[in-house]
Chain A
Amino acid sequence: MLLLLAMTNFSQNISDIRINEISPNYDGDLTNPLGNKSPWIELYNTSLVSLNIGTMYLTDDRENLKKYQLPKSDVFNISPNGFLVLYLDTTEHCHPLVAPLSTKTGYLALVLSNGRTIIDSLVFDPSAIEHETFLKRKIDGTGEWTLTKISTPLLSNDIKVYETPDEIVKKLDPYGIGISIICFSIVIIILIILYLAFYYIMQIKKPIAKIKKIEIKKEGETVKTEIIQAEEEISSEVVAAIGTALHLYLLSIHDYESTVITIKKIQKPYSPWSSKLYNLTPTPQRIHLPKKFIYEKNRSNN
C-alpha cells in the first residue's frame, strides 16, 4: 500500500505543470504587481497534489534554457488543478511574479530545476497575434492551442463566458429592428388568436339560421331556391325601449296598495275637504271702517 502511495506521489510531480494560456500583446484591465500592463502567461497544475514551481526556469530563448530562475517562494505554490499567472516585463522585475522575459521572441519554455529538461514549451508568431487576442489551450493543460478574443486568467479555459442580453443585442441587432419586428409580430399574432377565439365563440352562440325552401316557377321550369333567414339582431334602440317598458311595468306594480281585511270600526276623521261649512256662502257682515276711510271713499264717488 505504501509503495502504491509512493508511486502515486511520484507520478504526480513537478513535471505536471503546463503552460495554459498566454497574452502576447496584453492591453486589458489586468495589471502586474508593479502596476504595469504587461504580457502574462498562465500555468496550470494538472496533478491532484499541490506543487511549488520555485527554482524552475522560465525562458524565451531556445539557446538559453536557464534564462530566468524562479525564486524560492510560497507564491509559486499551485493548488491541485489550480492556476498561477506570471507576468513578463523586461523593464521592471523586482517582484517574484514578474519575469524579465519577452513574448517578442515567439518562444516560451518551462524548464525543470536541472536546467536541461523542458517540461512544456510553446512556439508562436507574435506578429500574427493582434491586440486583445489570446493563445490558450482548448482543454486545461492538455488541449490544442487556439486563438481567442476572451481571456480567462486564473480561470479554466473551458469556462463559458456568457454575454448579457445588452451585449448580444448591441452586437447582433444594434438598431433593434430585428427584435422589434419579432416582438411586434408576436403581439399581433397573440391578439389575432384572441380575436379568432372570441369570434368563433360568438358564432356558436348565434341563433341557428332558419332555412326556408321556396319554389319559383320561371318560364315553365321550377327552380328551387333556399332563402336563409337569419334572426335579425335586435338593435340597441329596441333593447332600450323594451328595457324602459319593463321598468315602467315594474314601477306600476308598485302602485298597488296592500289591502287588509279588518273588523275595526271605520273612522272618518274630520277633513276640511268634506266639511259643509266651506261649501256654504258666508253671511254678509257689517264692517266698521274708520272715519277717514269713509270720507275718502265718498269723495271719490262724487
Chain B
Amino acid sequence: MDFLGFVTQNLEKFLNYTAFANMSWGNVIMILVGLFFIALAITKQYEPYLLIPIGFGIILGNIPSVPGLQIGIYEEGSVLNYLYFGVIKGIYPPLIFLGIGAMTDFSALLSNPKLFIIGAAAQLGIFGALILALLFGYTPTEAGAIGIIGGADGPTAIFLSSRLAPHLIGAIAISAYSYMALVPVLQPPIMRAMTTKKERTIRMKPPRAISKKEKVLFPILGILLTTLIVPSGLPLLGMLFFGNLLRESGVTRRLAETASGPMLDIVTILIGLTVGASTQASTFLTVKSLGIFALGALSFMIATFGGVLGVKIMNLFIKKPENKINPLIGNAGVSAVPDAARVSEMIGLEYDPSNHLLMHAMGPNVAGVIGSAVAAGLLLSFLA
C-alpha cells in the first residue's frame, strides 16, 4: 500500500465513522422533535426545566455512532449508559420524590383532609388507560406502565416503566411530560362539560392555619398508613414523606434546602437528558409509541373526568352548603403540580373573578402525588 492508498483508506474510514454516513430518516425526525421541544421550552416556556434536558437528550441520542466505540446510550461502558443506569434501575425517580417532598407544603391538603379523596378519584385515569391498553393488544406489564401516564407524574411513570416495560420507557416518559405541559389544553373542556354554572361558582371556606405539630405528624403518619398497606410503593412514598419531614421538622433546614434545591436540580438534569437520549429512532419510532401517545392523552382525560366526578359525588354527601367543594378543583386530582391547580384557578376566575381556587386546588394536587405513587406501587406488586 502506498502513501496515497493509506490516506484514501483512512479518509474512507473516517467518512464511514461520521454521523452522516450512519444517519437514518428516523434519526432526522427525532432530532427535529428534539429541536421542537427546545423551541417550545424557550419561546413558550412550557416546562422548560424538563423540555430542555429532554429535547437536548433526544438530539444526543439520535446522532448515530459506529457501534463499538462506547458512545451510544445503549452501548455498555459508555458515559450515557452509566448515567442511564439511574433510569433503568429506578434510582432517579425516588430522589426526585425526595426533592418534591422537601419543597411541598401540604397545608392546603391538611386544612381540608376531604381533598385526599379527590386525589384518589383522579387515579381512575391510570386504570382506564390500563384497560384500554390491554384492549389494544399491549401485554399486561406494558399496559400497567402505559396506564401510569394517567397519574400525570413524570418520575412515577419513569419508575414504573423501568420496572415493568423498560423498552417503552422513552415513549412513556415523553408522553407523560408532554401531556403534563398540555394540561391547560386537555382539561378545561372536560371540566366545563361536567359542571353547571352554579357548581363552578361555589365558594369554598378559606383554608385554616395548620399547626407545626400537624405538619410534622403528616409525613410520619403518611408513611406508616400508606406503606404498611402497599410496601411496594416504598421507594417513592418513603422518599416523598422523608423529604417532607426534613422540611417540616424545622431542625434540618440545610438538608431540606439541599434536597429541594441542588440535588433536585442535578437529578432533573440527569433524568431529563438520559430519558431524552433513550429515544433513539430505532427504538422510539414504532407503532407502539404512537399507541402510547394516544393512550396517554386518553388517560389524562379519564383522570380529569374521574377527579371532577369524584367531587360531584362527594358533594352529594356534604349537607352544609358552606362545606361544598367546587368541582373545578377535581381536575387537580391528577398530580401535575402545580399546573393542574392553575387550571382550576383559571377556569374558576372565568365564572367568578373574585373566587380564587388555587389554594383549594393545591390540596387534591398534592393528594394526587400520593395517590399516583400508591397506584404505581400496587401495579408493581401485581404485575412485576
Q: How many A-B residue pairs have CB under 8 A?
A: 116
Whether A183 contacts B378 by the Cβ 8 Å rule is: yes
* Given A184-B127, A197-B221, residue A191 in contact with residue B119 (CB < 8 A): yes
Whether B124 contacts A166 by the Cβ 8 Å rule is: no
Query: Which residues of the partner chain B approach A48 to less than 8 Å between Cβ atoms?
Result: none
In Å, the complex CA distance between A278 and B128 comes to 87
Query: Which residues of the partner chain A approach B121 to less than 8 Å between Cβ atoms?
Result: 188
Whether A201 contacts B217 by the Cβ 8 Å rule is: yes
Q: Give the A interface residue count (CB, 8 A).
A: 35
Whether B222 contacts A194 by the Cβ 8 Å rule is: yes
User: By DSSP majority rule, is chain B's interface helix, strand, loop, or mixed?
Assistant: helix
* Given A166-B139, A166-B141, A192-B117, residue A183 in contact with residue B221 (CB < 8 A): no
Whether B114 contacts A176 by the Cβ 8 Å rule is: no
In Å, the complex CA distance between A289 and B127 comes to 98
Whether A190 contacts B229 by the Cβ 8 Å rule is: yes
In Å, the complex CA distance between A165 and B165 comes to 13
Whether B383 contacts A165 by the Cβ 8 Å rule is: yes
Q: Choose from A177, A195, A205 the contact partner of B117 (Cβ within 8 Å).
A: A195
Distance from A47 Cβ to chain B, minimum over Cβ atoms (Å): 43
Whether A188 contacts B131 by the Cβ 8 Å rule is: no
Whether A184 contacts B123 by the Cβ 8 Å rule is: yes
Which residue in chain A gives the minimum CB-CB distance to B131?
A176
In Å, the complex CA distance between A190 and B370 comes to 10
Q: Choose from A175, A177, A186, A236 the contact partner of B378 (Cβ within 8 Å).
A: A186
Q: Which of B14-22, B207-215, B266-274 contacts A (4 or more CB under 8 A)?
A: B207-215
Query: Which residues of the partner chain A approach B130 to less than 8 Å between Cβ atoms?
Result: 176, 179-180
Residue from A182, A187, A196, A202 having most chain B Cβ neighbours under 10 A: A187
Binary interface encoding of chain A residues 129-166 relative to chain B, with 1 for a CB under 8 A from any of its CBs, else 0: 00000000000000000000000000000000000011
In Å, the complex CA distance between A184 and B375 comes to 7
Binary interface encoding of chain B residues 28-40 relative to chain A, with 1 for a CB under 8 A from any of its CBs, else 0: 0000000000000
Distance from A239 Cβ to chain B, minimum over Cβ atoms (Å): 7
Distance from A205 Cβ to chain B, minimum over Cβ atoms (Å): 7
Distance from A282 Cβ to chain B, minimum over Cβ atoms (Å): 62
A270 contacts chain B at the CB level, 8 A cutoff: no
Distance from A30 Cβ to chain B, minimum over Cβ atoms (Å): 25
Query: Which residues of the partner chain A approach B375 to less than 8 Å between Cβ atoms?
Result: 183-184, 187
A293 contacts chain B at the CB level, 8 A cutoff: no
Which residue in chain B gives the minimum CB-CB distance to A194?
B116
Distance from A45 Cβ to chain B, minimum over Cβ atoms (Å): 39
8 A Cβ contacts from A198-251 to B: 198-199, 201-202, 205, 233, 235-236, 239
Query: Which residues of the partner chain B approach A177 to less than 8 Å between Cβ atoms?
Result: 131
Which residue in chain A gives the minimum CB-CB distance to B226?
A190
| Interface pairs (5), CB distance under 8 Å | A165-B384, A166-B139, A175-B131, A183-B375, A190-B374
